[in-house]
Amino acid sequence: MSVPLLRSDRTTVQRLPKRGSYDRDILNAILDEGLVCHVGFVAAGQPYVIPTTYGRLGDQLYVHGSAASRMLKAMKGGLPVCFTVTHLDGLVLARSAFHHSMNYRSVVVLGLAQEVIDPQERGDALRAIVDHVVPGRWNEIRPPSENEMRATLVLRLAIEEASAKIRTGPPVDDDADYELPFWAGEVPIRTTVLPAIADPRLAAGIVIPAHVTGYRLPGGAAAE
């Protein structure tokens, strides 16, 4: 059961508002396609932006890390954060410098990150993070020990105050510029996956599992 997205002044797309979206399905699709998010937080007045992995369960995002990390220490008390996921889809080459752009899909989620205390939710969140990156992985690894769980901080951020921003298609030049003798168009950018490389210390007789041989990026690209 999804709650409606809260479109606040803070998340309303101000620059080129037609690129903005507040639809939960669109936001979730962009979030689910990402491997890395960039989390912003403030410590002693200084903003920090840290890349990290994440998972989603319903309307909640989860990130994790060492209980000792600067980011998670600062977040632990329920600090305001900004959670951003960006997919670069293409370079947009216009006839004018001014209208050069990128095709992209991005999501920004604002809110208070809270430490997850409940053991069941902590376990579910870690599984969601691992399986977000490689679906099916959690079932074929050693789960966290009690010591490892103690060393791991899990944080939750509700997807409530959020927006997506999307640009697609060819450049949009000023009318007069379409007569200029300059080439214009798009250079598509894609993220791809190469065949897996076994750990040099892999024990003899261990077969590469289907969740690795059949791995596809969340966006759909399989190994070349």
State the minimum distance, in angstroms, from the CB of residue 60 to its own copies.
Answer: 19
Given the complex with its own copies, which of 61 and 81 has the nearer CB atom?
A: 81
Assigned token pair, 224: 């070349």
Q: Does 17 bind its own copies (CB under 8 A)?
A: no
Examine residue 110 and tell whether it contacts its own copies (CB under 8 A): yes
Q: How far is CA 134 from the centre of its chain?
A: 14
Among 126, 128, 153, 159, binds its own copies (CB under 8 A): 126
| Interface segment toward its own copies; rule CB under 8 A; list 24-32, 55-63, 86-94, 114-122 | 86-94
The answer to whether 196 contacts its own copies (rule: CB under 8 A) is yes
Q: In what order do the strands lie in the sheet with 101-112?
A: 20-21, 161-167, 101-112, 80-93, 37-43, 46-52
Find tokens 């077969």 and name the residue: 207
CA 131 to chain centre: 14
Q: Which of 20, 152, 158, 167 is close enough to bind its own copies by CB under 8 A?
A: 152
Residue 116, burial from CB neighbour count under 10 angstroms (0-12, 13-18, 19+): buried
Contact 75, 158 (CB under 8 A): no
CB of 77 to its own copies, least distance (A): 14
Question: Which residues within the stretch 37-56 sit at the binding site for its own copies (CB under 8 A)?
Answer: 38-42, 45-51, 53
Number of residues that bind its own copies (CB under 8 A): 94
- Four-residue CA torsion sign, 105, 125, 24, 211: positive
Interface with its own copies includes 18 (CB under 8 A)?
A: no
Q: Is 91 in the site for its own copies (CB under 8 A)?
A: yes
- What x/- string results for residues 203 through 222 when contact with its own copies is judged by CB under 8 A? x--xxxx--x--x-x-----
User: In sequence order, which residues have a C-beta less than 8 Å from that of residue 97 and are 6 or more positions away?
Assistant: none
Which of 117, 145, 146, 220 touches its own copies by CB under 8 A? Answer: 145
